[in-house]
A and B are shown apart, each in its own frame.
Chain A
Amino acid sequence: DAKTTQPNSMESNEEEPVHLPCNHSTISGTDYIHWYRQLPSQGPEYVIHGLTSNVNNRMASLAIAEDRKSSTLILHRATLRDAAVYYCILRYTGANSKLTFGKGITLSVRP
Chain B
Amino acid sequence: EAQVTQNPRYLITVTGKKLTVTCSQNMNHEYMSWYRQDPGLGLRQIYYSMNVEVTDKGDVPEGYKVSRKEKRNFPLILESPSPNQTSLYFCASSTPGVGNTEAFFGQGTRLTVV
Contacts and interface: CB of A to CB of B under 8 A. Distances in A.
A44 B42 contact: no
Given A30-B99, A46-B103, 14 more contacts: A34-B102, A36-B103, A42-B108, A43-B108, A44-B90, A44-B103, A51-B100, A93-B99, A94-B99, A97-B96, A98-B33, A100-B45, A101-B35, A101-B43
Interface of B: 4, 31, 33, 35, 42-45, 48, 50, 56, 58, 90, 92, 94, 96-100, 102-108
Interface size class of A (residues with CB under 8 A): 20 to 34
29 contacts: A31-B99, A32-B99, A36-B103, A42-B107, A43-B90, A43-B105, A43-B106, A43-B107, A43-B108, A44-B90, A46-B103, A46-B104, A49-B100, A49-B102, A91-B100, A93-B98, A94-B97, A95-B50, A96-B56, A97-B31, A97-B99, A98-B48, A99-B43, A99-B92, A100-B45, A101-B35, A101-B43, A102-B42, A104-B42
A2 to B, nearest CB: 12
Nearest to B49: A96
Q: Give chain B's interface secondary structure class.
A: strand
A91 to B, nearest CB: 4
Contacts of B104: 46
Nearest to B107: A43
Contacts of A31: 99
